[in-house]
C-alpha cells in the first residue's frame, strides 16, 4: 500500500511525473526548475519522499509511478468521503451539489455512471 497523504507541492510533483513518465531524473529536474522554480536538490528531496511513500520509483535514473494517477485520486476521494462524511456517498453528493444546478446532460451522464456501478445490476 502507499501513503496518500500528500501536500499540495508533492501532489503537483506527482502530477508532473504522471504527465511525463517514464522520465529521466535529469529531465525531471529541468521540468521542476521551469514549472516549480526548484533547484536540483529540492527535486531529489521530494522525489525521495514520494518513493518512500510508495507512490514513485527511481530506478537507474528513470522515474515512474508505482500507483497510477487514477488510482491515487480514487483512493484520495474515498478517504475524503470516509473522513468527512462517515463513508456516506449520498451525504457527500448532497454537500457537493448544495446550491448547484446541473444540466439534463450532466444528470443523464451521472445516472449512467450509477447504473454502471450498481451492485448486482
Please provide residue 111's backbone torsions phi and psi, each rounded to the nearest 5 degrees: -60, -45
Architecture of domain 8-69: Orthogonal Bundle (1.10)
Inform me whether the pLDDT recorded for 121 exceeds 60: no
Average pLDDT value over all residues in the chain: 92
Please provide residue 60's backbone torsions phi and psi, each rounded to the nearest 5 degrees: 55, 40
pLDDT in tens, 88-98: 999 999 998 88
Inform me whether the pLDDT recorded for 108 exceeds 60: yes
On the CB side of 43, CA atoms within 13 Å amount to 21
Exposed e or buried b per residue across 11-31, where buried means at least 16 C-beta atoms within 10 angstroms of its C-beta: bebbebbbeeeebeeeebbeb
- Position 75 scores a pLDDT of 92
Amino acid at each position: 500500500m502507499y501513503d496518500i497523504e500528500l501536500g499540495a507541492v508533492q501532489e503537483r510533483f506527482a502530477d508532473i511525473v504522471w504527465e511525463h513518465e517514464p522520465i529521466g531524473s535529469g529531465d525531471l529536474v529541468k521540468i521542476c526548475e521551469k514549472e516549480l522554480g526548484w533547484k536540483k536538490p529540492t527535486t531529489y528531496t521530494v522525489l525521495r519522499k514520494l518513493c518512500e511513500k510508495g507512490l514513485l520509483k527511481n530506478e537507474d535514473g528513470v522515474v515512474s509511478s508505482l500507483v497510477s494517477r487514477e488510482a491515487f485520486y480514487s483512493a484520495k476521494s474515498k478517504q475524503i468521503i470516509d473522513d468527512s462524511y462517515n463513508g456516506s456517498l449520498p451525504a457527500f453528493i448532497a454537500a457537493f451539489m448544495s446550491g448547484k444546478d446541473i444540466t439534463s446532460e450532466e444528470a443523464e451522464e451521472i445516472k449512467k455512471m450509477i447504473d454502471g456501478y450498481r451492485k448486482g445490476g
